[in-house]
Amino acid sequence: MDAKTNRFISLDERITAHNYSPLPIVISRAKGIFAYDVYGRRYFDMLSAYSALNQGHLHPKIVAAAKRQLGKVSLTSRAFHNEQMGPFLEKLCGLAGMEMALPMNSGAEGVETAIKAMRLWGYKAKGIPEDMAEIIVVADNFHGRTTTIVGFSSDPDSRIGFGPATPGFKTIPYDDASALERAVNKNTCGFLVEPIQGEAGVRIPSPIYLKEVRRICTEQNVLFCADEIQTGLGRTGAMFCVDNSGVRPDMFVLGKALSGGLYPISAVLAGREVLGLFTPGTHGSTFGGNPLASAIGSASLDVIVKEKLAKNALEMGTLFLERLSSLDHPLIREVRGRGLLIGLEFRKPIAKDFCRLLLKGGLLAKDTHQYTVRFAPPLIIKKAQIEAAFKIVYNAMNSIKERE
């Protein structure tokens, strides 16, 4: 490895907790769909920070909005009003067809907020006896890393060693509507689900699943909460992934691309009958809804809408999926995706090694659970760039062939 790269990697390994195992590249700068290492070598960024960079690295309009706001005020706290938060959340609610929003920072905080909102609604609106509320979740979920959230993860690496788990969660299989029907009882306040499971390896449920979920939740008076932190904001070829199924959840949790990658911004969106139940002092966040975040969030949404990123994700995703599907290799089990959230699944646990090959070829991608490589480039990617990126994947695949 190059001396400079090595120096940063050894420092990280010495000084940082080893809760990640990064690929051996040190990124020094990035623009649009490309990242550059400390030697100035260029890489296609096909992870996009787990879909936080849908608008591309350092989108000029979002950077300009951030700079403008940095000349005015960055943080006020919610002890006072600021002129950025309301307009940002009004824009967001307009896009999502929701009445109210509660702004937070990280995705996990957004999910925690949604959990609190569902429970509060369960007690105050549904009449569930105190401390009896249940939330149904699915196997192989990924909703973040806080103690409550990892307590209902089915991934042993996420959960084991961090107990005791918070009570009040029931796990059912994913993509199984009748399991939901059976699991609901009079104390169920909500159902929390990812419309496509990203971290689990881009798992796409059957076309009727979310429709069935909607029906069951309505019939049983249970809140349907869609975690669209990864799938939302254009990623799957629609503004929200649930749009692909023609359903509306009762709640959205959004994060990641809500800031275009400049800043951690998350939000819970829901109707007044849910978020209207919070009263002063029942929830909060020092940085949530701050003017800098709101200015960035507002510009990030404008870019998604004005540049028609959902439409481009659909077109470029279809093209990339078509190219990947043409790969004829005995080690490939399946290629699947929606928009620009695409998984390439192998028959053997070689996904991380494959990502190392892609890195050498000039493309950044990440494996999920050893078997699947996720491709999720910024949604601003163009046709010729898809073809060039595919060429790198194609060559990497061929080099595996040669080694066997």
Ligand X SMILES: *Cc1c(COP(=O)(O)O)cnc(C)c1O
Phi/psi at 196 (nearest 5 deg)? -135, 135
| Shortest distance (Å) from residue 105 CB to ligand X | 8
Find the distance separating the first CA and the last CA of the chain, reported in whole Å.
25
Q: Which is nearer to ligand X, 293 or 392 (CB)?
A: 293
Cβ pair 38, 28 in contact under 8 A? yes
Place of tokens 């961090």: 162
Q: Which residue's CB is nearer to ligand X, number 59 or number 143?
A: 143
Element (H, E) at 354: helix 351-361
Minimum gap (Å) between residue 228 Cβ and ligand X: 7
| Binding window for ligand X (CB under 6 A); candidates: 76-84, 168-176, 192-200, 202-210 | 192-200
Strands 251-254 and 266-270: antiparallel
Among 111, 258, 268, 303, which residue sits at the site for ligand X (rule: CB under 6 A)? 111
Q: Does 144 bind ligand X (CB under 6 A)?
A: yes
Q: Least distance to ligand X from the beta carbon of 125, Å?
A: 25
CB nearer to ligand X: pick between 166 and 395: 166
Distance from C-alpha of 375 to C-alpha of 365, rounded to nearest angstrom:
6
Residue closest to 173 by CA, chosen among 203, 140, 150: 140
Min dist. Cβ of residue 298 to ligand X (A): 19
Smallest gap from residue 130 Cβ to ligand X (A) = 28
Residue 229 interacts with ligand X (CB under 6 A)? yes
Residues 295-354 that bind ligand X (CB under 6 A): none
Long-range Cβ pairs for the range 119-122 (8 Å, 24+): 119/168, 119/189, 119/190, 120/274, 120/277, 120/278, 120/282, 121/189, 121/190, 121/223, 121/273, 121/274, 121/277, 122/187, 122/188, 122/189, 122/190
Q: How many residues bind ligand X (CB under 6 A)?
A: 16
Choices 34-42, 191-199, 233-241, 335-343 (CB under 6 A): range interacting with ligand X: 191-199
Does residue 108 belong to the site contacting ligand X (CB under 6 A)?
yes
Which of 106/290 has CB closer to ligand X?
Answer: 106
Q: What is the largest CA-CA distance in the chain?
A: 64
Task: With contacts defined by CB under 6 A, name the span among 139-147, 211-219, 286-294, 396-404 that binds ligand X.
Answer: 139-147
Structure tokens at 287: 């940085």
Give catalytic residue positions: 142, 227, 256
Find residue 104's DSSP bridge partners. 266
Q: Order the strands of the 34-37 sheet from edge to edge.
A: 27-31, 34-37, 42-45, 363-364
Bond into 164 cis (ω within 30): yes
CA distance 268 to 266: 7
Decide if 369 contacts 200 (C-beta within 8 A).
yes
> Is 48 or 82 the residue whose CB approaches ligand X more closely?
48
Q: Rule CB under 6 A: which of 237-256 touch ligand X?
A: 255-256
Nearest distance, CB of residue 235 and ligand X, angstroms: 10
* Out of 103, 107, 190, 339, the residue judged to bind ligand X by CB under 6 A: 107
Among 43, 121, 142, 209, binds ligand X (CB under 6 A): 142
Question: How does strand 332-338 pair with strand 341-346?
Answer: antiparallel
Least distance in angstroms from the C-beta of 137 to ligand X: 12
Q: How far is the CB of 171 from ligand X (least distance, A)?
A: 16
Output the DSSP codes for 34-85.
Answer: EEEETT--EEEESSHHHHT-TT-BT-HHHHHHHHHHHTT-S---TTS--TTH
Q: Per-residue x/- mask for ligand X, residues 265 to 304, rule CB under 6 A?
A: ----------------------------------------
Binding to ligand X (CB under 6 A) within 46-75 occurs at 50
> Pick from 158, 230, 244, 245: which binds ligand X (CB under 6 A)?
230
Residues in touch with ligand X (CB under 6 A): 50, 106-108, 111, 142-144, 194, 198-199, 227, 229-230, 255-256
